[in-house]
A and B are shown apart, each in its own frame.
Chain A
Amino acid sequence: MPFIVAEDHAVPAAAFGIWARAGVCDEPSDRRGIAHFFEHMMFRGSEKFGPKEHTRLVARTGGSCNAFTGFDQTVYHQTFPAVALEQMFELEADRFRWLKLDSDSAAVEKKVVLEELRVYENQPVVRAFRRLVREIGGDHPYALDPLGRREDLDAITPEDLRAYYRRLYRPGNVFAVVSGDIATDRVRELAERHFGSWSDPADLPEAGRPPKFLPATGARSERLSFEVPLTARVHCLPPSDQLDHAGLELLLALLADGESSPLQETLVKKKRLCVHAGAHHFKLLHGGVLVFYGAFLPPGKHAVRRGIIREVCERLAADGPDVEEFEKRLRRFRKRRAAESYSVHKRMLGLGEAQLLEGSYLNYEVALEDLAAVTPERVRDLARVLFATENTLELDIVPEKTRWWMPLAGLFMRIWRR
């Protein structure tokens, strides 16, 4: 089992995370939600520690622990006073190696998971976002809700959980990151003591891999339970191991980072067509998306806003970026990275994400150098590939509540007030 260690002795704190390559993509197709359900069960007791002990023992040190389930991974993490490092190793080793999965605990936890599913479904904004992902993601696991499907959750048995544990929670499928006020030799010693004799089961079946994620392209309009209309431009990203990460970060920053970026300045400040505008990328193992968006009031005139986003993107692909803007963006990255260095937790998460998505934790450590090496031509070439028509979806999102007469009423009210 690989361990990544990053020493930082500025404050007496440490963070410890374990990445299991076990997410939505690894679920059986009739057991959607098992990855997340299983994540909950990891807090329900193991050989040495009782059902409520893990979080309590971490909390008693002053630390905190949690976990999250994604499409490609489930991550278990804790931040704690550095002197408690050995205790964290004991806790993690015990549940990763000797988890108890009894029916009573599973039955109670299933109710909790269903409440979690319900509480998100009852927030219209979450419901809308999930439906949107389903609409553009098709049948791919990336289009599913990591919390699962109610009928599948109902059907999950303790045997299913045990099989999932055996298949995916094994040393060949996990890695750990420890950062903070710790010594590398000490981590090596604890890793050997607690995980050294852990080995993969011998008779595991070959794991299937999901296909490349290919979200919808073209143009669509969706009525969803958002309150505010949106227009978006979605571009497919290649699988994360084939992605130019530094180029993408700069491309995104050059177009949409900050209020003086072309997207925000044009849509929000100059033309006043949107109240918010921005961009996000979702980098995933089997392909992701890059999204530019604008939110506005009142409803109507999607096409104008969509046209401006298109123009901003196409200008970059045609002319390349302004060289002077490069220095400014790099400075902002440098500042952000400096702010991150106050947190051992953020460094741990950054290292783990680089290891999972880019194949090497070192990419996190050298990210600023990688960014500095990007040229305007590289960004322009990347933009040409990503912004190609066959790689693009133009999306209008209309709030469900919108009626055909609302834009007209809004127009009338504006004229009346004048």
Chain B
Amino acid sequence: MSGTATLPRVEVSTEDDGSVLICHSRRDVPLVFMEIQTPGGRSSEPPAQPGLAGLAADLLAEGPQGTAPEAWRRKTEGLAAEITCAARYDHWAARCECLSEYLDAACDMLKQLVARPGLPRSEFKRLVKARRASARENWAQPMSVIRHLVAVQNLGFGHPGAHPAFERAYRRAAYGPACELATGAFTRGAPVYALIGGDIGSEAGFARLREILAAMPAGGAGAASEPPVAPSVAPVWICNNAKVDQAFFALGRQGVRAGDAGRVALRLANYVIGAGGFDSRLMDRVREEAGGTYGISSRLDEKRVASPFTINSYTRVDRLREMLGIVERSLREVCTEGVTQEELESARGNRYGTLPLRLTSPRAVLSRAAEGLRAGLSPAELESDWRAYRETSQEAVNAAARRLLGDLRFRLAVIGPADAVRDQLRDRGDCEVFGFGLDPDRWPRESP
């Protein structure tokens, strides 16, 4: 990459009521993308009702008051517009992407949707059933379950970062509470982030967004406060699944939050440890040298709520102990010897070079800008973070790696045949064993 590379620019306008408007104009493709983000989403779910926010978003997407869901679908699809609603971990999102020639109509439709949601009771049972079917299929796949397992083990069930929805939770969901969540979703009581980009200039874009925001009802409490983290007492969870001949494992410990002052060095350290694919230490040792797995990776979420730093992989059941040994040796080496100059150069090159490649659509550019702004970072700081990838010192990255890995004590979650797995984990302290089909609200809790 040349030294003069630049990131796509966004324009930001902060309104009198605190709403933040973001625009990224790109006129060569005849599409416009818009998104309205309000605080809440999954973090506003009652602890006993995981999945309720997803159902509320589904209800919202069924169209505005006064338009039958069927007519709404025909109208949006007739314009080739995609209008969707989603419940993300800390915010709601209403999104529209359309051909620019239909912008007037699509904009009007998005406005109607957030201003006067229809929330048709007649659709609720169908939406529940659709979610139930997906959950039933997902919870049968070990690769899906292991991700939930490590989150719940490290944060405690009910935390916004560990509140997975499952079939029984959907089955007991009721229209009233879902409707209540949906009704409060798009209101102007708390900071709203409004995004527009693509084939539109900033002045016209901001005017469109102001028009939509003005139509939104006032009120809304915003996001609920974050509950305390309640990690498991037992350092090892074994989720017994006798039908698999591999052990799916995840190591986890507390991670960092969005906007962390050391974020650039932490991302570089995470890249070297396990997020860098074939370029990472773990992939090199576990897959390339030992042939122990097809994939291993580390993950450092930067959310506004607590989230774990995790390492995920799988291996033949009888090689679990050996692979965990290799993983832990590799992590210890990172802690004691630090990252090599070559690893650092790779991480710097990748993190710096990859960002412009990922920001090729207005949606990607705007999403990143909004994510940064919600974490309290200005567009200038996002740009300076990017440049800092090439300047962060080896010492800073080593310190960040030590911070991520801490005392190397990780909680360990494993899915596999319990007997064969337990034998290999005898020296790892207390161990909770439970069945693969057990719902997550019945997984072990904090109190012993």
Contact = CB atoms under 8 A, between A and B. Distances in A.
Interface of A: 10-13, 43, 51-52, 55-56, 59-64, 79-81, 83, 107-113, 115-116, 118-119, 122-125, 225-228, 258-260, 265, 268-270, 272, 275-276, 295-297, 328, 331-332, 334-335, 338-339, 341-344
B310 interface: no
A12 B5 contact: yes
B96 to A, nearest CB: 12
A386 B239 CA distance: 47
Contact of A60 (B80, B288, B315, B346): B346
Contact of B350 (A13, A62, A227, A268): A62
A335 B80 contact: yes
B292 interface: yes
A269 B81 CA distance: 19
B356 A62 contact: yes
Contacts, number: 185
Interface stretch (B213-221, B272-280, B325-333, B422-430): B272-280
Given A11-B360, A111-B291, A118 B245 contact: yes
Nearest to A333: B80
Q: Across chains A and B, which 10 residue pairs bring their CB atoms closest together, nearest first?
A: A62-B353, A111-B291, A55-B278, A342-B361, A116-B294, A60-B349, A62-B354, A335-B80, A331-B80, A275-B130
A60 B277 contact: no
Contact of B130 (A109, A276, A331): A276
Contact of B143 (A108, A123, A258, A328): A123
Contact of A334 (B80, B97, B142, B354): B80
B140 A52 contact: no
B225 interface: no
Nearest to B293: A115
B29 interface: yes
B133 interface: yes
A13 B1 CA distance: 11
B98 interface: yes
A159 to B, nearest CB: 20
Contacts of A328: 77-78, 80
Contact of A59 (B79, B246, B276): B276
A113 B126 CA distance: 41
A259 B77 contact: yes
Given A62-B355, A122-B245, A228-B137, A343 B360 contact: yes
Contacts of A272: 125-126
B345 A268 contact: no
B357 A81 contact: yes
A112 B291 contact: yes
B1 A62 contact: yes
Nearest to B342: A56
Given A60-B346, A338-B31, 13 more contacts: A55-B277, A60-B349, A62-B353, A81-B353, A110-B291, A115-B292, A122-B244, A123-B141, A125-B137, A259-B77, A260-B78, A269-B70, A342-B361
Contact of B99 (A258, A295, A334, A344): A334
A107 B288 CA distance: 11
Contact of A276 (B133, B248, B277): B133
Nearest to A341: B29
Contacts of A108: 288-291
B7 to A, nearest CB: 11
Given A60-B346, A115-B293, A227 B136 contact: yes
A269 B137 CA distance: 21
A282 B341 CA distance: 47
A219 B152 CA distance: 45
A260 B314 contact: no
A272 B126 CA distance: 7
Nearest to B78: A328
Contacts of A110: 291
B74 A297 contact: no
B121 to A, nearest CB: 14
A123 B142 contact: yes
Interface in B104-162: 125-126, 129-130, 132-133, 136-137, 140-143
Contact of B31 (A122, A265, A296, A335): A335
17 contacts: A10-B28, A60-B350, A115-B246, A115-B315, A122-B142, A122-B246, A122-B314, A227-B137, A275-B129, A276-B133, A297-B136, A334-B80, A338-B30, A338-B99, A339-B361, A342-B29, A342-B360
A276 B355 CA distance: 36
A335 to B, nearest CB: 4
